[in-house]
């Protein structure tokens, strides 16, 4: 143990009586979540900021006699991997952070690994997760975005910040409420750093979200007040007055709103401080044309600057849309896929875009208003599917399918996946094809297992590296009915 490692042990032990012990570990495979699996005295330890095959000194960050497993952060490397490089972001670099007596911020846990090897590890994590949870052997290739820098930096168009007690933008330490002020975001698009939001005092805010589209100059800043501020009208007004003054010097293309939300999926009340409550996102593809989308302050949008184009191409290629088809776009957001699918099915076809958030559904209605074949249905996927399955003869506006059969289903659920009930209902639609867009291998593996139990087979699966320098990945997978499922449908 070096003297720096000893300092690390001391500062960790101050915060958690079980933590702080420095262990020398030979680390094994990368697991889902961005940590390598190691063993010490018969105990499993999840080690972050390491690379499979390395020997590292790691400081225990969560321990305890009764814990099923411990967690540890690499603080120095005894035998480095040939794929190790110096971390791209000082505040997220575990080795430099612990050497200066603090924890690294979360969000760039693969920054110490060469981009090529990050992608190999993502393929391995996907394969292992599919075997362990999905009980299936699936190989998928990892495809990067062609324009990505070899460093894996400068791609995030959506960035969320905590706020320090003195009002500065900050990032959270992994699994912790501890915040670290930031003065740049290396993973963010360059336009974000240029705004210098770090110099602004956001006192009174609990969170600040910044949307900086990959293509264009518009920016939307959403300030979420602390609960105590949101609950006190006079205090809120005071802070709004201060934020308005402090943000006055920002370029004219920067819109700022205050966001107040009372419940998940409830509408976001937006108080406009300057500019608009939404921005435009332009999606240009060579094969499927271009569209502009209006995205409000609380609306979901794919995070990598080139993710919308990449996923539209992948989903449209997988669907192979034909004129006149009926296609369900579940978890449809602001209508990204629905808009391109609507072009493909044409006026004789139907697109059913299902989305739970009222704000995103409002955006979807605006984005799809000139396509009469597209219907935006606001509600929970599970409930809408239940209604389609039970009342297929009812008109679409009354919760039915107007007697039409769904040809293909696209689903792009949040990280938690779709869940068993929703998967069963999707199966009951008896479509010819399911295209599943997933950002989480574990929930995807679980949902796949249920689809396979219902008789579906994977035709093709591709992993898109839309989150470089992090452990996250995006999968697009096409499922087809197996021969047995087809037979049982014919027999029915
Ligand atoms: C990963 S995003 C995908 C959005 C869209 N496909 C896109 O690419 O822009 C998931 C979306 O599902 C919505 N959502 C989450 N849970 C839902 C549910 N149970 N039913 C319907 N929509 C849901 C979220 O509001 C979000 O817009």
161-214 pLDDT, tens per residue?
999 999 999 999 988 899 999 999 999 999 999 999 999 999 999 999 999 987
The answer to whether 75 and 166 are in contact (CB under 8 A) is no
Give the number of the atom of ligand 1 that is nearest the alpha carbon of residue 381: 20
* Residues 39, 49 contacting (CB under 8 angstroms): no
The CA distances from residue 480 to 129, 324, 434, in Å, are 21, 20, 7
* Protein residue whose Cα sits closest to atom 6 of ligand 1: 332
Annotated active-site residue 439? The verdict is yes
User: What's the whole-number mean pLDDT along residues 99-113?
Assistant: 93
CA-to-CA distance for 62 and 45, rounded, in angstroms? 10
- What's the whole-number average pLDDT of the chain? 93
- Closest residue by Cα to atom 4, ligand 1, is 333
Calculate what percentage of the chain has a pLDDT beyond 70. Answer: 95
Q: CA-CA distance, 276 to 253, in Å (whole number)?
A: 9
Protein residues whose CB sits closer than 6 Å to any atom of ligand 1: 300, 302, 331-333, 336-337, 354-357, 360, 380-381, 412, 414
Q: How far is the CA of 381 from the centre of ligand 1 (A)?
A: 9
Distance 412 CA to ligand 1 centre (A): 7
The predicted pLDDT at position 11 comes to: 53
- Main-chain dihedrals φ then ψ at residue 465, nearest 5 degrees: -85, 75
How many angstroms separate the CA atoms of 326 and 405, rounded?
7
Mean pLDDT (whole number) for 240-261: 94
CA distance 78 to 22: 13
Report the C-alpha gap between 221 and 246 in whole angstroms. 13
- Which atom of ligand 1 lies nearest, measured to the CA of 334? 9
Closest CA to 98 of 58, 158, 139: 58
Centre of ligand 1 from the C-alpha of residue 198, in Å: 31
Mean pLDDT of 476-482: 98
Question: Residues 6 or more apart from 376 whose CB is under 8 A from it?
Answer: 332, 335, 338, 353, 355, 361, 364, 365, 368
> Using one digit for the tens of pLDDT, what is the confidence trace for 49-66?
999 999 999 999 999 888
The single residue of 439, 442, 451, 475 carrying the catalytic annotation is: 439
Cα 178 → chain centroid: 22
Which atom of ligand 1 is nearest to 308's Cα?
Answer: 8
CA distances from 401 to 320, 337, 351, 480 (A): 22, 20, 11, 22
Asked whether residue 265 carries a pLDDT value surpassing 80, the answer given is no
- Residue 283, classed as helix, strand or coil, is strand
Displacement of CA 389 from its chain's centroid (Å): 30
Q: Which residues are annotated as a binding site for S-adenosyl-L-methionine?
A: 302, 331, 355, 412
Predicted pLDDT of residue 119:
97
Atom of ligand 1 nearest to the CA of 410: 6
The confidence score (pLDDT) of residue 268 equals 82
Task: Give pLDDT, residue 175.
Answer: 82
Which 3-state string (H, E, C) describes 444-461?
A: HHHHHHHHHHCCEEEEEE
Q: Shortest CA distance to 143 belongs to which of 109, 111, 120?
A: 120
Q: What is the DSSP string of 129-173?
A: HHHHTT------EEEE-TT--TT--S-BSEEEEEE-TTS-EEEEB
pLDDT of res. 143: 96
Please state whether beta strands 408-411 and 179-181 pair in parallel, antiparallel, or not at all (unpaired).
unpaired
Q: What is the pLDDT of residues 340-349, one digit of tens each?
A: 999 999 999 9
Strand runs labelled E in 362-466: 374-378, 408-411, 433-438, 456-465
Identify the bridge partners of residue 362 per DSSP, sorted by sequence position.
none
Predicted confidence (pLDDT) at residue 133 exceeds the cutoff of 60? yes
d(CA 341, CA 344): 5
CA neighbor of 413 nearest in space, from 403, 426, 404, 402: 426
Question: Please, are residues 186 and 199 in contact by the beta-carbon 8 Å criterion?
Answer: no
Give residue 17's pLDDT band: very low, low, confident or very high (50, 70, 90).
low
Return the pLDDT at 254: 96
Has residue 292 got a pLDDT over 60? Answer: yes
Residue 13 pLDDT level (bands cut at 50, 70, 90):
low
The predicted structure's pLDDT at residue 492: 82
- Separation between Cα atoms, residue 49 and residue 38, nearest integer Å: 13
Q: How far is the CA of 431 from the centre of ligand 1 (A)?
A: 21
Is pLDDT above 80 for 1?
A: no
For residue range 210-231, list pLDDT tens digits in order.
999 878 889 999 999 999 999 9
Segment 21-44, tens digit of pLDDT: 999 999 999 999 999 999 999 999
Indicate the burial class of 395 (C-beta count within 10 angstroms; 0-12, 13-18, 19 or more). Answer: exposed
Residues paired with residue 476 on neighbouring β-strands, in sequence order: 437, 462
* Substitution candidate for ligand 1 out of 296, 301, 331 with most atoms within 8 A of CB: 331
pLDDT band at 147 (very low <50, low <70, confident <90, very high): confident
Which of 2-6, 56-60, 418-422, 478-482 has the weakest average pLDDT?
Answer: 2-6
If pLDDT is split at 50, 70 and 90, which confidence band does 10 have? low
Instruction: Report how far residue 335's alpha carbon sits from residue 329's, in angstroms, rounded to the nearest whole number.
Output: 8
Complex confidence, ipTM: 1.00
User: How far is the centre of ligand 1, averaged over its atoms, from the C-alpha of 331 (Å)?
Assistant: 4
Contact at 8 Å (CB) between 426 and 438? Answer: no
Distances (CA, A) of 227 to 166, 339, 353, 359: 17, 37, 33, 21
Q: β-pairing, 350-355 with 326-330?
A: parallel
């Amino acid at each position: 143990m070096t003297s720096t490692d000893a300092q690390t042990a001391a500062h960790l032990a101050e915060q958690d009586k079980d933590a702080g012990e420095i262990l020398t570990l030979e680390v094994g495979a990368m697991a889902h979540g961005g940590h390598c699996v190691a063993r010490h005295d018969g105990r499993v330890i999840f080690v972050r900021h390491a690379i499979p095959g390395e020997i590292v000194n790691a400081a225990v960050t969560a321990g305890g006699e009764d814990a099923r497993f411990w967690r540890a952060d690499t603080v120095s490397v005894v035998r480095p991997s040939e794929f190790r490089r110096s971390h791209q972001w000082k505040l997220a670099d575990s080795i430099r952070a612990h050497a200066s007596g603090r924890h690294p911020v979360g969000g760039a846990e693969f920054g110490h690994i060469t981009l090529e090897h990050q992608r190999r590890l993502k393929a391995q994590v996907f394969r292992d997760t599919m075997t362990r949870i999905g009980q299936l052997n699936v190989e998928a290739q990892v495809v990067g975005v062609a324009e990505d820098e070899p460093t894996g930096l400068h791609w995030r168009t959506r960035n969320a910040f905590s706020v320090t007690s003195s009002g500065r933008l900050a990032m959270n330490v992994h699994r912790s409420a501890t915040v670290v002020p930031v003065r740049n975001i290396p993973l963010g698009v360059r336009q974000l750093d240029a705004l210098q939001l770090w110099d602004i005092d956001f006192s009174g805010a609990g969170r600040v979200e910044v949307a900086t589209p990959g293509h264009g100059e518009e920016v939307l800043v959403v300030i979420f007040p602390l609960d105590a501020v949101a609950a006190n009208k006079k205090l809120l007004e005071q802070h709004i007055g201060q934020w308005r003054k402090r943000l006055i010097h920002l370029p004219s293309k920067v819109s700022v709103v205050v966001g107040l939300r009372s419940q998940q999926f409830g509408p976001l009340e937006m108080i406009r401080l300057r500019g608009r409550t939404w921005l435009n996102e332009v999606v240009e593809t060579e094969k499927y044309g271009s569209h502009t989308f209006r995205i409000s302050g609380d609306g979901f949008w794919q995070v990598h600057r080139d993710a919308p184009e990449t996923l539209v191409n992948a989903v449209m290629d997988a669907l192979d849309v034909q004129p006149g088809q009926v296609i369900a776009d579940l978890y449809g957001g602001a209508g990204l896929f629905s808009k391109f699918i609507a072009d493909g099915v044409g006026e004789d076809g139907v697109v059913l875009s299902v989305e739970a958030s009222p704000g995103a559904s409002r955006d979807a209605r605006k984005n799809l208003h000139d396509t009469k074949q597209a219907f935006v249905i606001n509600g929970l996927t599970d409930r809408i599917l239940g209604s389609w399955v039970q009342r297929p003869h009812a008109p679409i506006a009354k919760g039915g399918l107007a007697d039409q059969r769904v040809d293909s289903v696209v689903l792009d659920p949040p990280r938690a996946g779709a869940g068993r009930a929703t998967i069963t209902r999707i199966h009951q639609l008896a479509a010819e094809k399911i295209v599943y867009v997933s950002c989480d291998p574990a929930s995807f593996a679980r949902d796949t297992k249920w689809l396979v139990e219902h008789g579906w087979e994977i035709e093709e699966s591709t992993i898109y590296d839309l989150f470089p320098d992090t452990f996250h990945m995006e999968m697009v997978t096409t499922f087809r009915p197996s021969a047995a499922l087809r037979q049982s449908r014919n027999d029915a």
